[in-house]
Amino acid sequence: MDAGRTYRDAGVDIDKANEAKAGMTGSMVTADRRVIHKPGAFASLFVADFHDVANPVLVMKAEEPGSKQLLAFKHGRVESICYDLVNHLVNDIIVMGAKPEAVLDTILCGKLDKETVVDIVKYISNACREQGCSLIGGETSEQPGLLAEGRYMLNASIVGVVDRNKIIDGSRIRRGDAVLAIASNGLHTNGYSLVRQMMEAAPEIENLVIDGEPFLDAILRPHKCYYGPLKDLFERGAVHGMAHITGGGIAGNLARILPEGTSARIDLSLIEVLPIFSVIRSFGNVPTEDMLRTFNMGVGLTVVADPADVPVIREHLRVVGCHSYTIGEIVEGAQQVEFLGQLRWD
């Protein structure tokens, strides 16, 4: 008969996992007194106390940073991908006017490396703190056979809160409203399956320098978070709708917030296309239509507002270091996004 087998023999080291979890504890310390569970609890306890919100509505979202993770871990950008994860989550809930409150993460790996996992938790915690919320728990799981050794998959969920009377869901959008673009800082977390395929077919692309920056640095910039620049605008009621531009591009995401009887007319010639997108289009011979459906093209978020409020909104964003500009308007239609003009591939 075979000698006895252990769970460690099968590729799962419980002792190492416990050591890693002990190392995470310090990173997750929070000053938020609403977090009342102790380290190692089966689940997280968060007191639903929102003293500054009269009619609280919870806003929840789950997300993962897609195949960008493969490039990030391959090239040692662990901190970067953790910020991608949190910032994408936060952007998804703030477009509804929400304040981020608490995050739960999931870390899957083929073989657990204590130092890497502890660093992941530290970086996710840091990213949460920068957006005024807390990492309050999660799950770390070693999955040999499902993932190869050295492979990691990150996932997280967020809970935010918004006053029921201050929800921003696009219902206030009217014909004649202006559509503003808020600049992205690159690909954010979309289009990486295409980029990775292009890199495999033409590895020399990694030697390119784009606008003074190595190609890998340009494509692995962390997803920009817009909560800080936008949060003070929520109370003013000037914002009628916001769309986070992720997979599906401007058309696919802006259409999600348009009320019945309206469409958005976007002038492509006004979009300030980032150099990285011109490189991807040229190097991969990617059709313009596919570029628009796959990437944000330099527009990380769109804001819909009354034209009379646009100067105030733009000045506020300028002061806090966030570039914005008008790219279109709301017209009568069937909840679609219409493109006019042509992108400028400068």
Quickly state the pLDDT bin for 16 (edges 50, 70, 90). low
> What's the CATH fold of domain 14-166?
60s Ribosomal Protein L30; Chain: A; (3.30.1330)
Q: Is the pLDDT of residue 25 over 90?
A: no
pLDDT reported for residue 35: 85
Please tell me the distance from the alpha carbon of residue 57 to that of residue 39, in angstroms, as a whole number. Answer: 28
Quickly state the pLDDT bin for 346 (edges 50, 70, 90). confident
> Helices (H) and strands (E) in the chain — how many of each?
11, 12
Quickly state the pLDDT bin for 20 (edges 50, 70, 90). low
Q: Is the pLDDT of residue 1 over 60?
A: no
Q: Is the pLDDT of residue 18 over 80?
A: no
Per-residue model confidence as pLDDT tens digits over 192-207: 999 999 999 989 999 9
User: Maximum CA pair distance of the chain?
Assistant: 82
Rg (CA), the chain: 22
pLDDT reported for residue 180: 98
Got the DSSP string for 123-152?
HHHHHHHHTT-EEEEEEEEE-BTTB-TT-E
pLDDT reported for residue 237: 84
CATH number of 178-340: 3.90.650.10
pLDDT reported for residue 289: 96
pLDDT reported for residue 24: 65
Question: Percent of the chain beyond pLDDT 90?
Answer: 79
User: What ranges do the domains of the chain cover?
Assistant: 14-166, 178-340
340 Cβ contact partners less than 8 Å away, ≥ 6 residues apart: 265, 266, 267, 268, 269
pLDDT reported for residue 17: 66
| Residues composing the chain | 346
pLDDT reported for residue 276: 96
What are the distances in angstroms from CA 152 to CA 86, 88, 102, 112, 142?
A: 16, 18, 23, 9, 9
Of 90, 110, 107, 106, nearest in space to 98 by CA: 90
pLDDT reported for residue 42: 81
pLDDT reported for residue 161: 97
Of 26, 30, 35, nearest in space to 118 by CA: 26
Q: Is the pLDDT of residue 7 over 70?
A: no
User: Which two tokens mark 302?
Assistant: 């769109």
Same fold, 14-166 and 178-340: no
Q: Which residue has the tokens 């940073």?
A: 65
pLDDT reported for residue 291: 97
pLDDT reported for residue 73: 95
Per-residue model confidence as pLDDT tens digits over 52-100: 899 999 999 999 999 999 999 999 999 999 999 999 999 999 999 999 9
